[in-house]
Amino acid sequence: MNEANKLIQQITEGIQDKKGKKIVVANLTKIGDTVCNYFVVCQGNTHTQVTAIVESIKEYTRKNAGINPFAIDGLRNAEWVAMDYADVWVHIFLPQTREYYNLENLWADAQLKQIPDID
């Protein structure tokens, strides 16, 4: 398993630990001039849950992959939080914000992988 896949696995586990839903991994490696190689997109139902998902991702990636995010933006209002792990960017949305920006469909050429929700 390469380093990016290991990181994505830890991010996914961090999301699922806090009951984050509708996880999508967008593989951007075959698209030129992108800011990163992968997007991981998910949602939480409340501002509090979005913040909890961010903290869980930070903990999982630090403990299990030895990686910290370079930057986190959006925690102030917690409607859309972006986490920068260089090759992997994570986007945690509230449902209505995710629907409005429709980030996954902006990258129509990306290979999208949906991760099943854990109840």
Q: Where are the domains of the chain?
A: 3-114
**pLDDT of 105 strictly over 90:** no
**pLDDT of 116 strictly over 80:** yes
Confidence of residue 1 (pLDDT cuts 50, 70, 90): low
What CATH superfamily is the domain 3-114?
Beta Polymerase, domain 2 (3.30.460.10)
User: 15-72, pLDDT tens digit by residue?
Assistant: 999 999 999 999 998 888 888 999 999 999 999 999 999 999 999 999 999 999 999 9
Confidence of residue 12 (pLDDT cuts 50, 70, 90): very high
The pLDDT, as a whole number, for residue 99 is 95
The pLDDT, as a whole number, for residue 48 is 97
**pLDDT of 89 strictly over 80:** yes
The pLDDT, as a whole number, for residue 32 is 81
d(CA 100, CA 14): 25
Q: pLDDT: is 7 or 33 the higher one? A: 7
For residue 26, the cross-strand partners are 39, 112
Closest CA to 9 of 65, 71, 66, 55: 65
The answer to whether 35 and 110 are in contact (CB under 8 A) is: no
Cα within 13 Å of Cα(103), Cβ side:
25
Share of the chain above pLDDT 70, in %: 99
